[in-house]
Structures are given as C-alpha cells and as structure tokens.
Structure 1
Amino acid sequence: MGSEGRSWSGVGAAAGSGAEAKATTAVVSAAAPAEIPTSSASVDISMPLPEMSPHIIRLCKELLQGWSSLDSSCFSIETVSGGITNLLLKVSVKEDTGNESSVTVRLYGPNTDLVIDRKRELQAIPYLSAAGFGARLLGIFENGVVQSFINARTLSPADMREPRIAAEIARELHRFHQVDIPGSKEPQLWNDIFKFLKKASALKFEDTTKQERYETISFREIQDEVKELKDLSDLLHAPVVYAHNDLLSGNLMLNDLEAKLYFIDFEYGSYSYRGYDIANHFNEYAGFDCDYNLYPDKDVQYHFFRNYLQPDRPNEVQAHDLEALYVETNTFRLASHIYWALWALIQAKVSPIDFDYLGYFFLRYGECKKQMDSCLSLVQSFLSGLRNG
C-alpha cells in the first residue's frame, strides 16, 4: 500500500519441504552496479510546481552529465503522479536535433523514513536494474532519486485480474524472486511488522475524535495475533526470496506495443517470504475501493501459480505444489493486512496528506479478522495432513 502508484483517485518447492525449497531458489546474480552520481541537495516537496521547477532543473544538471550545459529554457517538467507517499515528476529536455529525452524525478514524501528503509531500497535498486527490473537509477539526492523514464501505461486493478496479464505478472515475479541482492538474506517481514507495531502503539493524536478511535485498538490483541501467525507460518518453511512487497496496480506498467511488463518502485522491497509477496499482490485485486470480494478465488490463484512455478510449462505443475503454494499464500494474506493496517496508523499521525489513514487501519485490520479463522484453519489442516502423511 505505499507508493506513488497509490493515489486514491524454478521456485517451485512445496511448503513444508525445506530441503526441496532450498534446492529450487536459484538466484540471478547481477554484476556490481556502477557508481551512481549523488547530490546533497534537497527539494521542498510542498512547493507548487512552478516554484519547485528551478530546483529540479539545477538538480538534473548537477546529476546528469549530458544535461549539465543545457540552458534552463530547454527543460519542461510535469507531474506524473501525486500519490500518498511520493511525488513523481517527468523532466524532459529538447535537444538540438529536435528529439526529446526524459527522466523521472521521484521526491520522497515527508516522514516516509518512519516506514521505509531508504538504505535498503537504494542498495537493491542498482542490482534490480541490472537484472532488468524497473527504471535505471541515474542519480541520488537528499530526498529522492532520478531514474530513467519508462514509456508505458500504469495498470489498473482490473488489468491485473485479466488472465493474460496475470500470467505475465506471475512469470515476471518468478524472475524477480531469483535476483540476488548482496547482504543479509534474513527475511524482514516479521521484524518490520513488530517495528510498526511498536511505533503504532505509542501514538497520541491532538484531534480528540482521532484519539478516541485510536484508543479502541487493542495492541495486545494484535501482538498476540501476530505471534500466532508467525509461529504457524514458520511451520510452512516458505522459501525466502527478494520480494517486491508492494505489487499493486500502480507499481505495474505495461508497454502495449512491445508487450513489455515493468515492475517499478522498490521502496518496500526486502528479503521476505514467497507467499507473502504473492498474497500481498492478490490483496491488491481489491482496487482503490478496497473491495475484498474481488480477492481471487482458488481457480484464479491456481492460474497464477502455474505460471509462477513453471513459466515455460505451466500445465505441468504438480497438484501438490499448487496446493502447497495456495496454503502458503493464503496464510500470508493475513500478514499483508496486518502490515498495511499498522503502516496506516503511523501514517495517520505523521502524513500531511488529507486521507483517512485511521479508517484505512480499521478497514485492513477488520478484513484480517474476517479472514483469520478460515485462513488459520486452512494451514492447520494442511500441516496436519503433512504430519499424518
């Protein structure tokens, strides 16, 4: 739930088979990325675009060698996205030949460091870029990045549900999960959730109505539920991969002419569980209206799983592998709701954006509670079957 896209207008091992899981998590190693130009400059994201533009132009001239000598009159700047976390700008220059070249400037929203590990993000982007994911990282400044411009359209939630596009997303996610990012390979999901829980449980709102709503939340209950869910999901031995963790429609782009799909925005990326990344994506089928009745049924999930597990031979995926991934995914479905619910509480306190984050907490946590019994029953039944088998 957290990117510029969020504007409100062989990894085939069965869960429970640890040795098999380790054997199939092949990685794609990318060459060490070249040094990225860096600037200590920052840009005030609250400024209107006409006032901000000279600062953006100076920044691009500083970071992009080919643009350093261009006159400021050559530049044009337009807003691509004003989401609930970042501001995304398209910066273009007219060249002497009459051609136009463009880059994207992404400005971080205020206080996003409370929910996003920028060091982790910036470490991963060059390696993901080298493996063919997202836009190329061209420059880094104090409160944002400059990246290559992707000529493609942003998907809608309805696009994601279209079978042909869903299959392509699954195949691309299979490839994404094989990228090797240097550093610790320890999964960060539960660490991040417990960090969010600690921050979210210590808030105080000046608005008395917000404070009264906030005080109805039982953080002890949430903590107990998180611990139970963690303990149960640990028994699945889900493969650990480098996960996108925010694969909503706004972070998926498609060039229709080239039939080329792009994953963008790796702010929430980390080593995590395969099933969590897929479940988080399925939760986004709900769209901007958060209609969780649109969560994919078993047949739709199996279509995705076949293309994820064996992109070249989807019809050859074994039934037990489909069942295992189904259980794994729908267990982590709950973790996704809790993660974004706690995220929303923190945003309710620190974000300057006019959005009912507190209401979003209750929406996501309420959906988690609604689905909890059936999801926990599913995994317990599956684990019991493994023990008895």
Structure 2
Amino acid sequence: MGAVNIWNAMEVAEGASDGQTSGIPSSHLTIDHSLSIPEMKPRLVELCKDLFKKWPNLDASHLSVETVSGGITNLLLKVSIREDSSKTVDLMVRLYGPNTEYVINRERELQAIPYLSAAGFGAKLLGVFGNGMVQSFIHACTLTPSDMRKPKLAAEIAKQLHKFHQVEIPGGKEPQLWHDIFKFFQKASNLEFDDSEKQRKFKTISFEEVHNEVNELKELTSHLNAPVVYAHNDLLSGNLMLNEEEGKLYFIDFEYGSYNYRGFDIGNHFNEYAGYECDYSLYPTKDEQYHFFRHYLEPERPYEVSEKDLEALYVETSTYMLTSHLYWALWALIQAKMSPIEFDYLGYFFLRFNEYKNQKERYCSLAKAYLWGSKK
C-alpha cells in the first residue's frame, strides 16, 4: 500500500496540506527505546489503537515489526498491520533517541513537516506520541554514500534540493546556523563524563581554540551574502531514498531542518560523501561539484549556468562546508554524553574537528581571495 493511500486510509490531518498540525492524532504514550522488538510489540499495538481509532480490536497477531535503521540519533521501525487476508498497512514509527532534545528542536520539525509533505517531500505525518512520531512508509531503498556521487543521482539530488529550498515555512526566517553552533558550544564545553577514559579525551579539547575558530568563520561567512533558505541540514545518504521502479527520489527526516544558509546545506551534503567513517578522500572534486551546481541552479537548463555563477557557489559552498565540520563536531560531544546509542561520538568529534583544521587554510584563503577580488 503506497504512502498516499495510507494517508487517505487513516483519514487524519485534513488540514495538513495547508500546513496545519492540529488535525494530527496524538498520544501521550511512550515506548522505551531500549526494549527488544518482542517487548515493544504490545506497546506498539496500544499506540496504534490509541492514535488510530479505526483499529479498536487490534492485537499482536495482526502486527509485525522490524527495525529499519538504528541510525545514530533515532530508532526507525517498520510496523505492518494486517487488516484482513488481502490488505496490509505499512507504517514507519520513529522513536526519538533519548536526550535528543538537547540537539533537536522538535517543535520546529513538527511545524515544518506538513508544509514539506505538501510540497512532495518525505513521508506523511500520521501521528505523534510521547517520544516519537508515526509516518507513512516509503517503499524505497536508502542510498549509500557512493550512490550520491553517481552523476545521474547527483543531478537529481541537486534538482530536488533546489525545489526543497523553495518551500516556505511560516514563522521566523532567521538563519539558525550560528545560533545552533553557539548553543552546542555552550552545552559541549560544560560536559563531564563518568567514564574516566572519555573524560581524559574530553580534557584534551581546547574550547578556547574551538571558540576562536567559530568566531573567525562566522566573521568570514558574513561577507558571502549567502541566500537564506529552508534547509534540510542533514542530507546524508541515510536521508535519501530511491524507488528505482518509479524513478523517484525521496528526502526524509527533517529533524535538523531550519532556515539556514544555502551554502551550508550543500556543503554539508558534500561532506556526507565521506560517510560515517569520514573518508574525506571521497569529498567531491571541483568538476563533480560543478555538475551538482548546474542542476541545482538551473534544473531545466543546467548547461546554461555561467562560469561566474558556478565559481560564486563553489566559494560559498566550500566556506560553509567548514562550518558543517564545526557544527557536527560540537553536536557529537553532546551526543557522547547524552546518547545511549553505541557509536564513538567522542572519536567523531576529533575526526570532524581535525578535518576542519586540515581544510581551513585552503578554503578560507579561497574565500578571502574571491571576496577581495570581487571588491576591486
């Protein structure tokens, strides 16, 4: 059963296409992120009965559950409900990672989802509950980092990102990048770890150095006059899905979405070519970036984009790519303290911050040369 049909079947959120969330079913129930799937199953039954009144007699025999992704922030579950011998409804249940409110603005996310959905992005929001949300299930395969650099897919991602950046979300339109980075910095710099080895590694970080780098980069990027758009801010391969039969690409998971600088969204996406292993030898070449820029700037006439416009976006993206490293480095420190997910967040901080330092001189010099030359 396709995503749109599921949405209609639920008969919820009549105003969602107009960006209204008041019609979305809600429940106060929560599901413990640490439970095994068999232990979660009866709780998921109760959740579905509470949210969707059409299944008052639902029991565990009608429901199957499988993990879609553990991720490094949330737990995603595919919940299949057998209504009768010929009809099954597939739902996506997203359990927020514990303590993710330290790094994610859930109110901002829930406000944006209906507008993005109405514009053709992501899954439909079907319900919200104490520590997660229920969405329509997208029948597609998640991309890998190597998929993103395939010319045909890169062009389609660029076209979709151009469209994504046109979506208008009500409310303030101030870019959130520096607000979020300074918020992360404040939280990260005051952490203490119970684990002595983690605390030892944490103590090797010079937060004075990090703070100076943040201020220096904030000053430099302020001269670029980058357009402010509604940005995804986390366009990694795991948030891109492809249905090859339909030839349809999906953007999913908008929890980090906000108004932000265009160059940050693109530069952050390019950083994700490296994957979680942070193999930055996979960062796209200038030719690969120009291929992306052409399809982003002029989706219908990519080869009519001028060299001047390509160069300007290259400088903008390259500079904001550096800010992406600082953003996720600080984010990782907070996750190292707060998240129960098995992932070396502390090591991830050092990978991102060290790559920032490796690339800083090259791309800051590029930006300064471009800005100085443009004022001649």
TM-score using structure 1 length: 0.90
Distance across 2 between alignment mates of 1:296 and 1:169 = 14
Residue 288 (structure 1) shift: 3.0
1:274 counterpart residue number: 262
Residue 33, structure 1, aligned to residue 9, structure 2: no
Residue 147, structure 1, aligned to residue 119, structure 2: no
Residue 354 (structure 1) shift: 2.3
> Secondary structure, in 3 states, of the residue corresponding to 1:52?
helix
2:224 counterpart residue number: 236
1:386 counterpart residue number: 374
Is 271-280 or 59-68 further displaced after alignment?
59-68
Q: Could you tell me which of 327, 331, 334 is aligned with 2:319?
A: 331
Distance across 1 between alignment mates of 2:217 and 2:209 = 12
2:4 counterpart residue number: none
Q: Could you tell me which of 91, 94, 108 is aligned with 1:103?
A: 91
Residue 176, structure 1, aligned to residue 176, structure 2: no
Distance across 2 between alignment mates of 1:255 and 1:245 = 23
2:6 counterpart residue number: none
Q: Is the 8 A contact 1:33 1:130 kept in 2?
A: no
Residue 128 (structure 1) shift: 0.7
Distance across 1 between alignment mates of 2:62 and 2:193 = 46
Q: Deviations over 1:31-90 (max 9, x none)?
A: 233511111111111111111111111111221243334344211111111122111111
Distance across 2 between alignment mates of 1:211 and 1:386 = 47
1:21 counterpart residue number: none
Residue 179 (structure 1) shift: 0.3
Instruction: Report the AA paired with residue 85 of structure 1.
Output: T
Q: What pairs with 1:181-220 in structure 2 (closer than 5 Å)?
A: 181-220=169-208
Q: Is the 8 A contact 2:45 2:59 kept in 1?
A: no
> Secondary structure, in 3 states, of the residue corresponding to 1:41?
coil
Instruction: Report the AA paired with residue 119 of structure 2.
Output: A
Distance across 2 between alignment mates of 1:170 and 1:355 = 30
Instruction: Report the AA paired with residue 115 of structure 1.
Output: V
Distance across 1 between alignment mates of 2:342 and 2:102 = 18
Q: What pairs with 1:5-154 in structure 2 (closer than 5 Å)?
A: 31-33=18-20, 35-96=23-84, 98-154=86-142
Instruction: Report the AA paired with residue 118 of structure 2.
Output: A
Q: Deviations over 1:250-283 (max 9, x none)?
A: 0000000000000000010000000000000000
Q: Could you tell me which of 344, 350, 357 is aligned with 2:338?
A: 350
Q: Deviations over 1:217-260 (max 9, x none)?
A: 11111111111111111111100000000000000000000000
Residue 99 (structure 1) shift: 2.2
Distance across 2 between alignment mates of 1:208 and 1:65 = 50
2:296 counterpart residue number: 308
Instruction: Report the AA paired with residue 218 of structure 1.
Output: S
Is 147-156 or 93-102 further displaced after alignment?
93-102
Alignment length (residue pairs): 360
Is 308-317 or 63-72 further displaced after alignment?
63-72
1:371 counterpart residue number: 359
1:262 counterpart residue number: 250
Q: Is the 8 A contact 1:187 1:271 kept in 2?
A: yes
Q: Could you tell me which of 221, 224, 234 is aligned with 1:246?
A: 234
> Secondary structure, in 3 states, of the residue corresponding to 1:67?
coil
Is 180-189 or 202-211 further displaced after alignment?
202-211
Residue 101 (structure 1) shift: 1.4
Q: Is the 8 A contact 1:64 1:138 kept in 2?
A: no
Q: Deviations over 1:83-128 (max 9, x none)?
A: 2211111111223251221110000111111111111111111111
Q: Deviations over 1:7-36 (max 9, x none)?
A: xxxxxxxxxxxxxxxxxxxxxxx6233511
> Secondary structure, in 3 states, of the residue corresponding to 1:288?
coil
> Secondary structure, in 3 states, of the residue corresponding to 2:190?
coil
Q: Deviations over 1:339-383 (max 9, x none)?
A: 010011111111112222111101100000000000100000000
Residue 287, structure 1, aligned to residue 275, structure 2: yes
User: Which segments of 5 or more consecutive residues in structure 2 lack a partner in the other structure?
Assistant: 1-16
> Secondary structure, in 3 states, of the residue corresponding to 2:172?
coil
Q: Is the 8 A contact 1:243 1:273 kept in 2?
A: yes
> Secondary structure, in 3 states, of the residue corresponding to 1:187?
coil
Instruction: Report the AA paired with residue 330 of structure 1.
Output: S
Distance across 2 between alignment mates of 1:111 and 1:71 = 31
Distance across 2 between alignment mates of 1:358 and 1:73 = 42
Q: Considering only aligned residues, what root-mean-square deviation do their CA atoms show, in Å?
A: 1.3
Question: Matched residues, percent identical?
Answer: 65
User: Which segments of 5 or more consecutive residues in structure 1 lack a partner in the other structure?
Assistant: 1-29
Q: Deviations over 1:137-158 (max 9, x none)?
A: 0000010000000000000111
Instruction: Report the AA paired with residue 198 of structure 1.
Output: Q
Q: Deviations over 1:151-170 (max 9, x none)?
A: 00000111101000000000
